[in-house]
C-alpha cells in the first residue's frame, strides 16, 4: 500500500494521490513456463519429503531456557505501577520521538516494546514505527490505562494521512480514553488485539485523512467503533457498542454490534461467527512475579472476545521453557535452542540469518515483541516449520535479503497429508517485506503446505517505496506473496500487495478466506512483460487452482494503480475454477486515480474499472 485514496461516504475527503519514493524500473519477460512452475505443485523453498527434519516428541525436558524473570534486553521497557507516572511518560515520549517520523523511521533499525505489569497507569502512549505496546496481565482488565494508546497522522510530511502507519501494535490492556475516544489510525501490519476500550475507538486520523487498515480482534469497545475514512477493515471475534463507516470493504466475523450484512451498499460483510480461530500467545506475569506465555485454546464458530466471560481458555508455558533471543544471537544459537526443546521469545531487533531456522517440535511457540526482524542472508530461507501439530508463530517481520530466497517462511512439506484439525499451526501478526529497507528478493514470501493451518493477520508486501535503490521492477523481485497447498487452511485477515505474478495462489482443498486486501504491482513496465497466459492480460490477485473443488471466501478487494504505465490492464482480479464448490462473496475492484484497468472482477464477471476511483462490486460468485 502506498498513498492511494478512496472516497469517504461522508464526502469529506478529496481524491488525490501522494507518491512514495521509487527506484528505477526496467522491463522483464515473464514466461508461461514460469507461470506454470509458480502455480503448480513444485513448491519453491519447501523441504522435500526425503530431507525434511523429523519432528520432535513435544517434550521440553532438555530446554536450557531462561530464568523465570529473564533479562529482555535494552529494547524492552517493563513498567510497574509503583513507578512514578512522569518517569514512565518520559520513556514513552523518548521512544516515540525516535520512532515517529515517516521519512526517517519507517525504514530504520529502531525496535522497541512497552510492557505494562498489572496495575493502573495514567499515561499517554503515542505509538511509532516498530513499537509494540502490551499489558502483562492474564486478561486485558489486569492493566488499566487511564489515558490513551494513540496512533495518528503525527508528522507534517503525512499531510493528515495515515496511509504509511505500518508496523505497530497494541495488545492485552484496558483503556479509559482521556477524551472518551481512543484513536488507532493505522494502515497495514498494525494489529489491535485483546483490548478493552471503555469508550469509543476512532480508526481514522484526527484530520479525517485517509488510512488503509486494518485489523482488530478479540476486543471489546463499549462505545462506537468508527472507521470513517478507512478504505477497508477487518474485525474478528469482538464486541462493539456500535459501528460507523465504510468506504470499500468492511468485514466482520464473530462480532456483536457489527452492522448487518449489506454489501455493497453500504460495503459491509458480516459473518455471525468465525469458523476456526485461536487467540494469540502472549506474555504475562503470574502472581509470583514470574513470566509465562499463555497459549489460548482453539475456538470453533466463535463469537465475541475469548476473555468476555472470564479467563481465556488455554494453558501456560513458563519462561524457563523459552530461549530469549537478543542481539548477538545467530542462526546457530537459535537452532541450538530449538533442537534442545526450547520455545523462542524474540526481543526487538534485527537478526541476520546465514542458515534456515528449523522449527520441528510440535506445539513450539515462536513469539516476538517489538517487531523483531529476520533477514535471510546468502539466499537461504528464513524459517521452515515441520508438518507437526500446534506450532504458533506470532509477531515477526520477515525481511528478504539481497540474495534471492526461495521462500521466507514455509510451513510443512510438499505432499504432507497429516490432519492437524485438533491442533493446527497458527501464523499470527506475521509480516513479510521484499524491498524498502534493503533491495530484497524472494520468490515466494509464505508457503503453507500443512493442512488446517490458520493464517491470522498477515501482510505480505513487495515494497512500492522505500530507501533509495531498494525498489524497482528488477530490484526487489518477488513472484508471489502467499502460496497455499495444504487442505482446509483458513485465512482471517489476508493482506498481499505488489507482487509481480499471482499475489495469492490457493491450491489446497477446503480453503476459507475472510477478508482479503490487495494492490497489484505499481511498476509493471509494459503489457508484454505482464501476461499470465497467451491471451490473458496481467495476473489475478487471488488465484484458486484449477483442480480445486471446494473453496469459500468473503470480503475480497483488489486495486490497481499501474503508475509506470497506465496502459497496462489485468483481465481479472480473481481467477477461480467454475464449479459449485468454489464460492466467493463480496468482491470488488478499484482503479486508483484511474491508473490502468481491471477488465473483470472474477473470471469474466464484473465490469471494467471506471475512472473516479469507484469500485466495481460483485455480491456473489457464481
Q: Helix (H, G, I), strand (E, B), or coil: what is residue 92?
A: helix
Say if CB 369 and CB 344 are below 8 A apart: no
Report the catalytic residues: 519
Q: What are the CA-CA distances from residue 566 to residues 10, 562, 598 (Å)?
A: 29, 5, 11
Q: Helix (H, G, I), strand (E, B), or coil: what is residue 407?
A: strand
Angle subtended at Cα 589 by Cα 584 and Cα 590, rounded to the nearest 5 degrees: 165
**Cell of residue 593, nine digits:** 486515480
Torsion of CA 183, 186, 191, 195, to 10 degrees: 10
Burial 580-619 (b: 16+ CB within 10 A, else e): eebebbbbbbbbbbbbbbbbbbbbeebeebeeebbbbbbe
Closest C-alpha to 151, from 87, 86, 195, 85: 195
In sequence order, which residues have a C-beta less than 8 Å from that of residue 338 and are 6 or more positions away?
Answer: 323, 344, 357, 358, 359, 360, 361, 364
Q: What are the CA-CA distances from residue 84 to residues 53, 87, 114 (Å)?
A: 50, 5, 16
Say if CB 541 and CB 520 are below 8 A apart: yes
Q: What are the CA-CA distances from residue 479 to residues 14, 23, 485, 499 (Å)?
A: 34, 18, 16, 6
Burial 491-500 (b: 16+ CB within 10 A, else e): bbbbbbbbbb
In sequence order, which residues have a C-beta less than 8 Å from that of residue 214 and are 6 or more positions away?
Answer: 184, 186, 187, 188, 190, 192, 203, 230, 232, 233, 234
Let me know how long the chain is.
622
Query: What are the two backbone dihedrals, phi and then psi, of residue 241, each rounded to the nearest 5 degrees?
Result: -65, -45
Amino acid at each position: 500500500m502506498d498513498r492511494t485514496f478512496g472516497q469517504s461516504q461522508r464526502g469529506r475527503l478529496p481524491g488525490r494521490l501522494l507518491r512514495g519514493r521509487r527506484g528505477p524500473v526496467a522491463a522483464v519477460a515473464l514466461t508461461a513456463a514460469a507461470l506454470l512452475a509458480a502455480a503448480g505443485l513444485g513448491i519453491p523453498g519447501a523441504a522435500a519429503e526425503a530431507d525434511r527434519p523429523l519432528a520432535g516428541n513435544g517434550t521440553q525436558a532438555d530446554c536450557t531456557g531462561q530464568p523465570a524473570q529473564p533479562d529482555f534486553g535494552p529494547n524492552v521497557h517493563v513498567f510497574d505501577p509503583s513507578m512514578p507516572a512522569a518517569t514512565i511518560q518520559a520513556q514513552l515520549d523518548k521512544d516515540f520521538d525516535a520512532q515517529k517520523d515517516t521519512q526517517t523511521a519507517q525504514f530504520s533499525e529502531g525496535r522497541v516494546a512497552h510492557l505494562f505489569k498489572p496495575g493502573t497507569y495514567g499515561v499517554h502512549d503515542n505509538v511509532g514505527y516498530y513499537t509494540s505496546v502490551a499489558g502483562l496481565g492474564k486478561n486485558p482488565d489486569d492493566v488499566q490505562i487511564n489515558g490513551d494508546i494513540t496512533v495518528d497522522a503525527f508528522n507534517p510530511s503525512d499531510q493528515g494521512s495515515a496511509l504509511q502507519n505500518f508496523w505497530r501494535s497494541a495488545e492485552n490492556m484496558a483503556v479509559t480514553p482521556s477524551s472518551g475516544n481512543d484513536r488507532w489510525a493505522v494502515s497495514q501490519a498494525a494489529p489491535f488485539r485483546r483490548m478493552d476500550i471503555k469508550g469509543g475507538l476512532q480508526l481514522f486520523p484526527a484530520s479525517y485523512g485517509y488510512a488503509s487498515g486494518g485489523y482488530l480482534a478479540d476486543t471489546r469497545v463499549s462505545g462506537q467503533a468508527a472507521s470513517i475514512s478507512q478504505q477497508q477493515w477487518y474485525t474478528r471475534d469482538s464486541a462493539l457498542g456500535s459501528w460507523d463507516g465504510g468506504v470499500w470493504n468492511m468485514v466482520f466475523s464473530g462480532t456483536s454490534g457489527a452492522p448487518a450484512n449489506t454489501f455493497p451498499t453500504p460495503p459491509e460483510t458480516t459473518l455471525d461467527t468465525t469458523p476456526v480461530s485461536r487467540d494469540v500467545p502472549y506474555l504475562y506475569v503470574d502472581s509470583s512475579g514470574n513470566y509465562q506465555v499463555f497459549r489460548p485454546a482453539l475456538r470453533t464458530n466463535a463469537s465475541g472476545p475469548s476473555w468476555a466471560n472470564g479467563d481465556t481458555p488455554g494453558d501456560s508455558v513458563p519462561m524457563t521453557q523459552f530461549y530469549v533471543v537478543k542481539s548477538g544471537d545467530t542462526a546457530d544459537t537459535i537452532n541450538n535452542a530449538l533442537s534442545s526443546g526450547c520455545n523462542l521469545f524474540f526481543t526487538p531487533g534485527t537478526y541476520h540469518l546465514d542458515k534456515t531456522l528449523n522449527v520441528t517440535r510440535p506445539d513450539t511457540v515462536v513469539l516476538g515483541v517489538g517487531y523483531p526482524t529476520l533477514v535471510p542472508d546468502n539466499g537461504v530461507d528464513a524459517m521452515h516449520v515441520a508438518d507437526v501439530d500446534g506450532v504458533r508463530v506470532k509477531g515477526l517481520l520477515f525481511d528478504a535479503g539481497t540474495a534471492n530466497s526461495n521462500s521466507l517462511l514455509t510451513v510443512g512439506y510438499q505432499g504432507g497429508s497429516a490432519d492437524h484439525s485438533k491442533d493446527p499451526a497458527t501464523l499470527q501478526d506475521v509480516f513479510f517485506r521484499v524491498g524498502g529497507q534493503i533491495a530484497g528478493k524472494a520468490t515466494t514470501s509464505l508457503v503453507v503446505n500443512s493442512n488446517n493451518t490458520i493464517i491470522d493477520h498477515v501482510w505480505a508486501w513487495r515494497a512500492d517505496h522505500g530507501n533509495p535503490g531498494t525498489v524497482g521492477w528488477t530490484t526487489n523481485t518477488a513472484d508471489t506473496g502467499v502460496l497455499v497447498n495444504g487442505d482446509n487452511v483458513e485465512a482471517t485477515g489476508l493482506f498481499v500487495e505488489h507482487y509481480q505474478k499471482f499475489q495469492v495462489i490457493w491450491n489446497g482443498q477446503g480453503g476459507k478466506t475472510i477478508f482479503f486486501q490487495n494492490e497489484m504491482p505499481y511498476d509493471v513496465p509494459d503489457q508484454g512483460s505482464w501476461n499470465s497466459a497467451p491471451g490473458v492480460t496481467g495476473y489475478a490477485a487471488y488465484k484458486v487452482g484449477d483442480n480445486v473443488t471446494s473453496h469459500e471466501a468473503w470480503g475480497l478487494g483488489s486495486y490497481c494503480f499501474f503508475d509506470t504505465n497506465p496502459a497496462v490492464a489485468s483481465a481479472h482480479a480473481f481467477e477461480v475454477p467454475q464449479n459449485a464448490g468454489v464460492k466467493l462473496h463480496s468482491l470488488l475492484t478499484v482503479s486508483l486515480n484511474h491508473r490502468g484497468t481491471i477488465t473483470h472482477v472474477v473470471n469474466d464477471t464484473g465490469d471494467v474499472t471506471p475512472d473516479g476511483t469507484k469500485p466495481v462490486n460483485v455480491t456473489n460468485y457464481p
